[in-house]
Amino acid sequence: MTRQYFGTDGIRGTVGQSPITPDFVLRLAHAVGRVLKRSDPRPTVLIGKDTRISGYMLESALESGFNSAGVDVVLLGPLPTPGVAYLTRAQRASLGVVISASHNAFADNGIKFFSAQGTKLSEDWERAVEAALDEPPHWADSATLGRARRLDDAAGRYIEFCKSTFASDLTLRGLKIVVDAAHGAAYQIAPLVFHELGAEVHAIGCSPDGYNINREVGATHPDALVRAVREHRADYGIALDGDADRLQLVDAGGRLFNGDEVLYLMVSERLARGEQVAGAVGTLMTNMAVELALKRRGVPFVRTGVGDRYVLEELERRGWLLGGEGSGHLLALDRHTTGDGLISALQVLQACVRSGKSLAGLLGDVTLFPQTLLNIRLRPGQESWRDNPRLLEATAAVERELGQTGRVLIRASGTEPLLRVMVEARDAAQALACAQRLVDAVQA
């Protein structure tokens, strides 16, 4: 059974259009509640959100839907996605729910879920929810309705958890750090985490108004961070996305470091401490240079499909701890159950402080291969792009040209009607030219 509503990261879309409408979200929460009650007679669900104006509406719809199924609700207010995952586990809740469309613009929103253990839920669970959506509702009577309350100091509890992942014998004192929260869920939390560990913090992207989330700031628009680091003569810049589960880093020279480099650095830091690293997981998009550098150090590396849930599934299957994506979704399962931009940043800063080296110094043996990634918005009727003869012919020609010195990856986005075309080659101009040939083939 295929999933009708769930994508690679929950349910996402444009607010006011199916399925991101209050009536559907109420039905969704009711269906989820009924699934939960199959194993728990009185479930409790935590609900967090980012800073989008639509979060108020969707929060109310979720609350009503859960209560109508006899499920208790705890409202967390604005909180990063990984913060909801942590509190779900810490509060022994049955489920965590996040209202967010992550790095998308404010006009979009979405719903994603975490298990009682703070992990992403399986596709089988999502199929069970979709099956329940097709069933008639079973409204609870007045005596069995769920209740709702707010959790005091949800942000403070999560701040303390983040700080606990940073070595207790180290401090950020003496460092100047620019923090960009993308006007998103971490706008209050992120500056405090680094300040309370001793850093001098300059905050940008920390003034949400409901409409400006991810707008020209944050992990998807790192130019703002680069400018701010130079302006303040900071040692580091840290950019998160709207729900703070992805990370981009900038050093004092304004150089941007992506998630592939951070993954290598996390592995390298553990090796430097004498820890064994059984292996690391990346995706089809992970830069070949990182794969080769890890293998030179005797660390096995495997790829999964694009999406942090697939990285997590592979890590759990192999019993490994470290994985991630170039976009900045990083997993360190000895620190948290899910990707966390703040905790990933703390792991990087910990490595720099402990070693006395800069980011560039720690990554001196990794030079990324140039990658070109172009997005094509699919028009109606282009869903069958895999059968496009022009694209098939152009792909074969590009692969012949690259040989063993590069890669081609073409995939549909799991969250937007986009086709993503990636070409990796040792020469940047060649990568760009080859990618453009593939785009032209689709658009012809």
Q: Which residues are catalytic?
A: 102
Site of tokens 């460092």:
175
Q: What is the rounded distance in angstroms from the CA atom of residue 321 to the CA atom of residue 273?
A: 16
Task: Give strand pairing partners of 422.
Answer: 373, 409
Number of residues in the chain:
444
Cβ proximity of 414 and 9 under 8 Å: yes
Strands (E) in 105-257, as ranges, are: 108-114, 148-150, 176-180, 200-204, 236-240, 247-251, 256-257
Cβ proximity of 62 and 72 under 8 Å: no
Name residue 134's amino acid: D
* Coil/strand/helix, residue 288: helix
- CB atoms inside a 10 Å sphere around CB 156: 12
Q: What is the rounded distance in angstroms from the CA atom of residue 17 to the CA atom of residue 9?
A: 18
Strands 236-240, 176-180: parallel, antiparallel or unpaired by DSSP? parallel
Q: Measure the CA angle with vertex 151, ends 66 and 29; round to 5°.
A: 15
Which residue from 80, 87, 83, 9 is spatially nearest to 44, judged by alpha carbons? 87
CA dihedral 409, 415, 417, 418 (to 10 degrees): -30
Q: What is the rounded distance in angstroms from the CA atom of residue 433 to the CA atom of residue 437?
A: 6
Q: What is the rounded distance in angstroms from the CA atom of residue 210 to the CA atom of residue 198?
A: 30
Cβ proximity of 244 and 79 under 8 Å: no
What percent of the chain is helix, strand and coil (3-state, nearest 5)? Answer: 40, 20, 40
Name residue 337's amino acid: T
